[in-house]
Amino acid sequence: MGDRKYFGTDGIRGRANTYPMTAEVALRVGLAAGKLFRTGDDRRHLVVIGKDTRLSGYTIEPALVAGFASVGMDVRTFGPVPTPGVAMLTRSMRADLGVMISASHNDYADNGIKLFGPDGYKLSDEIELKIEAMMDQGLDQGLAPSNKLGRVKRIDDAQARYIEIAKQAFPKRLSLKGLRIAVDCANGAGYKVAPTTLFELGAEVFPVGVEPNGTNINAECGSTHPETLSGAVKRYRADIGIALDGDADRLIICDEKGQVVDGDQIMALVGLDWAKRGILTGGGIVATVMSNLGLERRLKSKGLTLERTKVGDRYVMERMREGGFNIGGEQSGHIILHDHATTGDGLMAALQVLAVLVESAKPMSELARQFDPVPQLLENVRFTADKPLETDKVKAAIAEAETALKGQGRLLVRPSGTEKLIRVMAEGDDEALVKRVVSEVATAVRAAMK
């Protein structure tokens, strides 16, 4: 991935109004992606654009619109709508391309651009590289003649359309009547759709993080700050708490006692329920190398597999499509339910958890611990040198650690896709051993950079 100039593991992302997250780069994305997706035939081409609640959305969106319209693509803007909503509406409106303006769970000062193909899936690395190559062309190349410019309209009911699609994912035979649900929308893209969906399905809803002002997205709220949700659950005596992130594609749950339930437990809960009902496909679940060993063992005990991919929901989705799986996700709370969506969807995943909760008639705290997690420790090491993992000492430390953990744990050392960090993670049954190997490998990585 080192040769990429703009795109990272999840679209283009950076500090708003500084390179590469400027209006100029957004304009170039619109021009390049517009030219690439405009096929030779004479029909009108369409791109749809959604965003979260960041202040900088007001600079990025018009720049993208100008780029697309000037190469002859019609544009529909949605305003604030979850990332998975953009993926769905790209498909349902037969658009050639979908764009989401968001930096997900990062703070308001960052922003990002994610692109979806006409099928609602994130674009492949290959197509992103093609767009990159075209972005550096002159701004006046390949423009449409003046009578072929794109037309632009705002779609006012995009949120209502998403709510209707989301509600379809909740089993018809069930209702949320009588449930008290606290929902933290991170002052982000789900701030209207999530409470409305839960309310329309019959729940008594206690929303927090639903007053976006452009700079408070993810600020001490949402899935990255579960303590806010935990407090709300206790304050409102809720039966369950649901926290989304800024673009509403990830989910964290709290039980009625305010205890946090991570993505691994959510995947186990929904996956085992679907397996029992005969609707789980692929013979297991897809997760990343970060998912807990306890999840793998629990699935194995039921004759199911856990397939692991690189970190990043796009890799999870790719493996799901290849192997015919319908549940996958990340420990951080990106849950992909392929029967309902083409990307992670926090609200859809929450509705599956609620379905199990309603049907079981048990309190959430009894359902929340599907397995006992194995002790897991992650240490991040900032790096300055090039390729710090390729020195002999680091390789030796990694080999030693792997030998020590053999048969009762695992080690993972990888560079972060979004920051200059090396992540050193180990897990195993013996907590002291896990601590020791993480510390030894992290020390070796630091020494290699001196």
- Asked if 91 and 178 count as a contact pair (C-beta separation under 8 A), the reply is no
Residue 430 burial class via C-beta count within 10 angstroms: exposed 0-12, middle 13-18, buried 19 and up: middle
Distance in angstroms (rounded) separating the CA atoms of residues 268 and 287: 11
Helices 346-360 and 193-200: angle between axes, nearest 10 degrees: 30
Give the pairing type, strands 409-415 and 376-382: unpaired
Which residue among the candidates 104, 223, 230, 291 is catalytic per the annotation?
A: 104
Q: What is the DSSP letter of 406?
A: T
Cβ contacts of 432 within 8 Å, gap of 6 or more:
none
- Asked if 229 and 252 count as a contact pair (C-beta separation under 8 A), the reply is yes
| CA neighbor of 102 nearest in space, from 197, 26, 3 | 26
For residue 2, report the phi and psi dihedrals to the nearest 5 degrees: -65, -20
**In this structure, is the dihedral angle defined by the CA atoms of residues 165, 169, 174 and 179, taken in order, positive or negative?**
negative
H/E element, 275 = helix 263-276
**In this structure, is the dihedral angle defined by the CA atoms of residues 185, 337, 114 and 150, taken in order, positive or negative?**
negative
Residues in a beta bridge with 224: none
Active site residue 291: no
Distance in angstroms (rounded) separating the CA atoms of residues 37 and 234: 50
Give the pairing type, strands 11-15 and 110-116: antiparallel
Active site positions, annotated: 104
